[in-house]
Structure 1
Amino acid sequence: MTRAAFQTVVPFEPPGPLQDQAAAERRAIFDEQKKSFLRMVSHELRTPLNAVIGFSEILACELYGPLGSPQYREYAEHILASGHKLLTIVNQVLEIARLEGHAADMGLGPEALDHALEDTLEQLSVDLRETGVSIDIGDDTALPSVMADGRGLRTMLFNLLQNAVTWSPAGGVVTVSASPRAGMIDIVIRDSGPGVDPADIPRLLKPFEQGQCPLTRKANGAGLGLPIVEALSGAMGGGLEIISASGEGLTARLSLPAA
C-alpha cells in the first residue's frame, strides 16, 4: 500500500468572523506598539539633541559673558549648526518610519495655505539669509485652503521649499503658486537649480536616495525629504509630481484636496 492511500485531503475553509476579528485585534495591538516605540525613540533622541542645541546657542551668543578665545565661539557655532542638522535628520527618519509603519496619526481639516507658508518660511529664515535665495509667491491674493493635517502640511512645504532653496544658486529665486484643479489644489514650487535627469526622478522618490554623485553633490542630507512628501500627500488623498530636466531646474507639484 502506498503512502498516498493514507493521505487525507483537508478542504480549504476561508477564515470566519472570529479569525478576522482576532487578526484585526493583533494588528491594532502591533500598531499601538509601533506608536509607543516611536514616541519613546523620539523623546530619547530629541531631548539630548535639544539640550546640545540650546546650550551651544547660549555659548555661541556669549549670553553670560565672553568665552575668551574667539575660537571657542566658532566651535560653539559649529556645534549649534551640527545639532540643527542632526535634529532635522532625526525628525525625517522618525517621520518616514511612522509613515511606512502606518503609525502616523492624521487629523484632516481645512488648512489655510497662507498661514502654513508663513510658518514654513519662518523655519527657513536662516537658510534664506545664508543663501540669499528669495521666495516669490506669485499671486498677491489669498492662497486657497486645503484639506490636510496641519503638521503634515507644514512638513511637506518645509521639505519641498528647503530642497528648492538648497539647489538654487546663490541669490536665486524660488517661485510658489497654488491653483484649483478638479476638486484639488495644486501647490507648485519651482527652483532655478541644476535640475535632474527625468530618468532619475523615480529614484529620488525612494528613501535615502539623493541627487548628483555622492562625491560631488553640494548638499548633505539623508535623502528623505521627497519620499516623506510623497507618503504624506498620499495619506491625505493627494499626490506629488516631480518635473525636471538637466539644467532646467526642478518643479514639484503637490496636489491636495480643496477645502
Structure 2
Amino acid sequence: MKRYGSLRWILLAAGVVAILGLTGMNVYSLYALHENTLESSRENKKLQIAEFTDKIRYRFFEKFMGLGSVDIDRLQDNYRKTGQFTSEVNNLLKKAAKDSIYKDIFFIPSGSDACQQHTPIHKYTSNQKFELTSNYPEVVCDGMGIARTQIKSLLADYQYNNKVIFDSHRSITIVLIDPSDREVLGYLTMPFNQDFLRNSYLPKILEQKFGPDEHPGLNVWLRDWTNNKIIASSSPNAKYESEQIQFVENFPDFFDYWTVEVAFTDESTLAASNASLIQNLIVLGAAMLLLLGALVFMFISAQKERALAERQSEFLANVTHELKTPLSVMQAAGENLADGRVQDQQRLKSYGNHIFSEAVRLRKMIDKLLDVAKSNAEESLIEPQPTDVGDVVQSYLERHQKFFREKGFHLDLTINDNLPKVNIDRNSLETILSNLIDNAIKYSADEKYLGIKVTAQNNQVKLCIEDHGIGIDKKSLSDIFTKFFRVEDSLTAKTKGHGLGLSIVKNLVELNSGSIDVESKPGEGSTFIITFPILSESEQKGSPNSVSMQPESKSRNKELEEHVS
C-alpha cells in the first residue's frame, strides 16, 4: 500500500512538472511569436522607407530618362556647329526646366576655365536654348568641380554616355561622355530650388507617405545630421528625440548629409499583438490552473478514497469483532442455561442481566448502522415539532442516573429558565445526547467530569456538552465528523468505537436545521456546542403540536446534580 502511495506522489509530481514545462514552452512560443510579429512589421516599414528614398531619387532622374539612348557624336557635332543641343536632348531639357525642383540649367563645356576666370557660361533660358550669362551662382561651379574630380577616376573604363553626380542636396550634374574616345563633352549642372525642396516637396511627400492617417504610431523625420536640423516630418506636431529613433535610412547616391530617421510609437500592429499576447497568456494561464486544479483534485480525491477505503476496512473488521463479542457472550450464556448447568438463582439473575446488557449493546450498534444507512440513502429521519431542549435533556439524564453513578461521573448541569422552544425531532435530540455523552465517558481517563449547559441567546438555543477527557489535537478537528474517522493515539486505540457516532450527530443536527462546533485541547478535554434556531411566538402558538410546558428551574438542576453525584 505504501508503494502505491509513493507511486501516486511520483505521478503527481511528474504531472505538475509536465504541465509547468508545457506552459513554459507555450509562453516562450507566444513571446517569440509576438517579437517576430513586431520585427516583421518593422522590417516592412524599413522596406517602405527604402522605397520612399528610391522614389525621391527617381524624381531627380525621371526628366532625363531618355538621355542614355542619345547619339552622343551627333550631339557633339550639333553643339560645335550651333552652340545648342540636338532637338532630342532639347526636349529633355524643356521638361526639366518646367520642374520646380530645378532652379536653373547650366552647361559648361569640357576644358572650359570659366569658373576659375569667372567668365560667362551657358544657361538654358525660357527661349528653350542656351545663352551665355555671367550671372550664375557659385553652386554651379562647385557641382561641376565635384563631377570633374569623380569622373577622372572612372573615365578610363566607363562605357555609358552620361554620369549623374550630386553635390549633396545643392545640385545635380550630368556629365556628358563620349565612351568611344573616353572624352567628356561637358557638364550639365542644375542647382536645386531649396525653398521648394525644403518647404514644399519633401514635407508634402513625407506626410503623404507616412502621415498619421496612413501609418498611425509611426513618426518619420528627414534630418540634416551635419547641422542637426529637421528638414521635414511626417507628423508636424511630433517632437524629435534621438533616444526614440529605432532605425536610420541614408539616401542612396545623393543627399549625403540627409537621413530618414524612424520612431515607432504604439502602432496598431503593436497594440493588436500585445492584446493577442495578453489574451493568449490569460487563456493559457486559465488552462494551466484548470489542469493543475483537476490533477490536484483527482490526487486528493484518490487519497481520500484510499483513506476512506482503509477506514471502511478497519470499520468492517471492528464491527465484525464487536458483533461477534456480544453474540458469543449471549450464545455461551444461553448454552449454559439451556443445558441446565446453572441452578443458583443469583447466578441465573446474573446470566440474565449479562444477556440483557449484551443485547442492548448489540441493538445500539445495529441502530447506529441503520442510522448511517438511512443517512446515506438521504431518507428523512425526523418529525420536527416545538420542543423544549431543556426538558429533553433533563428527561434523558433522569433516565440514565444509574449509568452515570456506575461510571463515577460528576454531572455539572445548567438549564436556563424560560427557554424558548425550537422545531426539532425529540428522538434526534436524544440520539445526539446519547452519542456525545457516550463519547465524553469513553474518552475521559482520570477526571470524570461531564458538564451540560442549555442556554438561549441571539434567537438560538445553545446546548453545550463538556468533558475533561483526553481532548482532540488541532489537525484532527476538521475530520472528526467524517464517517469511520477515529483519532489515532495510544489512548483511543484501546477504546472501542467505529468512527460513526459524531458523523451521525452532525447529520441529525443539520437535519434539524442546527449547527455543531467543537472546541478542544489535547489533555484538557472537549466541548461540543450545538445551536438550534428558536421558534417565533406566532409559530409556537399557531402550531397544533405545541405543548404547554413549565419552565425548569435551577433548583431542579441542582437537585438532579446532587442525585446523580
The TM-score with structure 1 as length reference comes to 0.66
Q: 2:441 aligns with which of 165, 175, 183?
A: 165
Matches within 5 A, 1:170-189: 172-189=448-465
Amino acid aligned to 2:461: I
- Taking a change above 3 Å as real, the CA distance of residues 215 and 178 of structure 1, as seen in their structure-2 partners, is closer
Q: 2:531 aligns with which of 251, 255, 259?
A: 255
- Taking a change above 3 Å as real, the CA distance of residues 139 and 119 of structure 1, as seen in their structure-2 partners, is closer
Matches within 5 A, 1:113-192: 113-139=389-415, 141-169=417-445, 172-192=448-468
In structure 2, how many angstroms separate the alpha carbons of the residues matched to 1:248 and 1:200? 15
In structure 2, how many angstroms separate the alpha carbons of the residues matched to 1:155 and 1:239? 15
1:207 partnered with 2:448: no
Matches within 5 A, 1:16-55: none
- Taking a change above 3 Å as real, the CA distance of residues 237 and 78 of structure 1, as seen in their structure-2 partners, is same
Amino acid aligned to 1:223: G
* 8 A Cα contact 1:114 1:142, kept in partner: no
- Taking a change above 3 Å as real, the CA distance of residues 216 and 182 of structure 1, as seen in their structure-2 partners, is closer
Q: 1:245 aligns with which of 511, 521, 529?
A: 521
* 8 A Cα contact 1:111 1:150, kept in partner: yes
Stretch moving more, 75-84 or 241-250: 75-84
Query: Larger RCO: Structure 1 or Structure 2 (Cα < 8 Å, ≥ 6 residues apart)?
Result: 1
In structure 2, how many angstroms separate the alpha carbons of the residues matched to 1:156 and 1:106? 13
* 8 A Cα contact 1:167 1:194, kept in partner: yes
Aligned to 1:99: 375
Render the CA deviation track for 1:127-177: whole Å, top value 9, x for unaligned. 312211132112463544322111111111221122222223466221111
Aligned to 2:503: 227
* 8 A Cα contact 2:436 2:502, kept in partner: yes
- Taking a change above 3 Å as real, the CA distance of residues 76 and 215 of structure 1, as seen in their structure-2 partners, is farther
- Taking a change above 3 Å as real, the CA distance of residues 133 and 184 of structure 1, as seen in their structure-2 partners, is same
Identity %: 26
* 8 A Cα contact 2:419 2:456, kept in partner: no
- Structure number, greater radius of gyration: 2
1:87 partnered with 2:393: no
Aligned to 2:150: none
Render the CA deviation track for 1:168-226: whole Å, top value 9, x for unaligned. 34662211112234322221111010101021123221122234448853432322221
Render the CA deviation track for 1:5-26: whole Å, top value 9, x for unaligned. xxxxxxxxxxxxxxxxxxxxxx
In structure 2, how many angstroms separate the alpha carbons of the residues matched to 1:165 and 1:143? 27
- Taking a change above 3 Å as real, the CA distance of residues 77 and 193 of structure 1, as seen in their structure-2 partners, is same
The TM-score with structure 2 as length reference comes to 0.32
- Taking a change above 3 Å as real, the CA distance of residues 190 and 144 of structure 1, as seen in their structure-2 partners, is farther
* 8 A Cα contact 2:447 2:469, kept in partner: no
Aligned residue pair count: 201
- Taking a change above 3 Å as real, the CA distance of residues 229 and 257 of structure 1, as seen in their structure-2 partners, is same
Aligned residue for 2:453, secondary structure, equals: strand
The alpha carbon displacement at 1:71 in A equals 6.0
- Taking a change above 3 Å as real, the CA distance of residues 202 and 186 of structure 1, as seen in their structure-2 partners, is same
Aligned residue for 1:217, secondary structure, equals: helix
In structure 1, how many angstroms separate the alpha carbons of the residues matched to 2:466 and 2:399? 19
* 8 A Cα contact 1:133 1:174, kept in partner: yes
The alpha carbon displacement at 1:123 in A equals 4.6
In structure 2, how many angstroms separate the alpha carbons of the residues matched to 1:190 and 1:168? 11
The alpha carbon displacement at 1:105 in A equals 3.7
* 8 A Cα contact 2:463 2:531, kept in partner: yes
Q: Which runs of 5+ in 2 are unaligned?
A: 1-326, 536-565
Amino acid aligned to 2:465: I
* 8 A Cα contact 1:180 1:186, kept in partner: yes
* 8 A Cα contact 1:144 1:185, kept in partner: yes
* 8 A Cα contact 1:240 1:253, kept in partner: yes
Aligned residue for 2:493, secondary structure, equals: coil
- Taking a change above 3 Å as real, the CA distance of residues 215 and 168 of structure 1, as seen in their structure-2 partners, is closer
Aligned residue for 1:206, secondary structure, equals: coil
Aligned to 2:471: 195
Where does structure 1 differ by over 6 angstroms across 4 or more consecutive aligned residues?
none
Amino acid aligned to 1:133: F
